[in-house]
Structure 1
């Protein structure tokens, strides 16, 4: 039903419809609940720490691997060792993107 209302609104934006107050309240509550769920998921996704590889970080920051190496030597963006591989904290990468520094 939700998709049909959206299609109707797009097809006939000037249409006037009658809705029972109870149905309107129910629709609003469903919309609020859906929006809340999407926002909570977005917040959870952003706060979850991930550990991308050097290649992925270089791609995200649009820099060469040698730049990452120089930054690590200068203490700007230091990788960590996970299972013998160099990884970066995504939170550090985000800070680098937002501020240009850690």
Structure 2
């Protein structure tokens, strides 16, 4: 970005300079900073079992001992896909 001098600058030149230099830079920064947020994907117990290739009893045990966080609504249990993937990545063997 160049230097803007206000001394001896008329309002028309100032507006033109702002449009040409400042506004495109701000627009680029804001568009990079404010990307739309991806919606959270929730999985059911059977979807998690299928994803991890485990039995329902294993998933139940992991839930009870806190290995996998879960969310409940009524009598339904859900898991965040991002948290499941994060747990898998944290437990990487090599």
Per the normalisation by structure 1, the TM-score is 0.48
Ranked by relative contact order (alpha carbons within 8 Å, sequence separation 6 or more), the top structure is 2
Structure 1 residues 14-29: aligned runs within 5 Å: none
Counting matched residue pairs gives 58
Deviations 1:33-90 (A, max 9, x none): xxxxxxxxxx979x43111100000110111111111111110102211353101011
1:80 and 2:71 are equivalent in the alignment: yes
Moved over 3 A (4+): none
Instruction: Give the Cα–Cα distance (whole angstroms) in 2 for the partners of residues 89 and 67 of structure 1.
Output: 17
Indicate if the aligned counterparts of 1:80 and 1:86 stay in contact, CA closer than 8 A. yes
Name the one with the larger helix percent: 1
Instruction: Give the Cα–Cα distance (whole angstroms) in 2 for the partners of residues 93 and 83 of structure 1.
Output: 22
Task: Select which of 44, 48, 51 maps to 1:60.
Answer: 51
SS state at 2:43 partner: coil
Q: Considering only CA atoms, is the larger Rg found in Structure 1 or Structure 2?
A: 2
Gaps of 5+ in 2: 1-34
Task: Select which of 40, 46, 55 maps to 1:49.
Answer: 40
Gaps of 5+ in 1: 1-42
Task: Select which of 69, 72, 82 maps to 1:91.
Answer: 82
Aligned-pair Cα RMSD in Å: 2.4
Per the normalisation by structure 2, the TM-score is 0.52
Instruction: Give the Cα–Cα distance (whole angstroms) in 2 for the partners of residues 92 and 73 of structure 1.
Output: 16
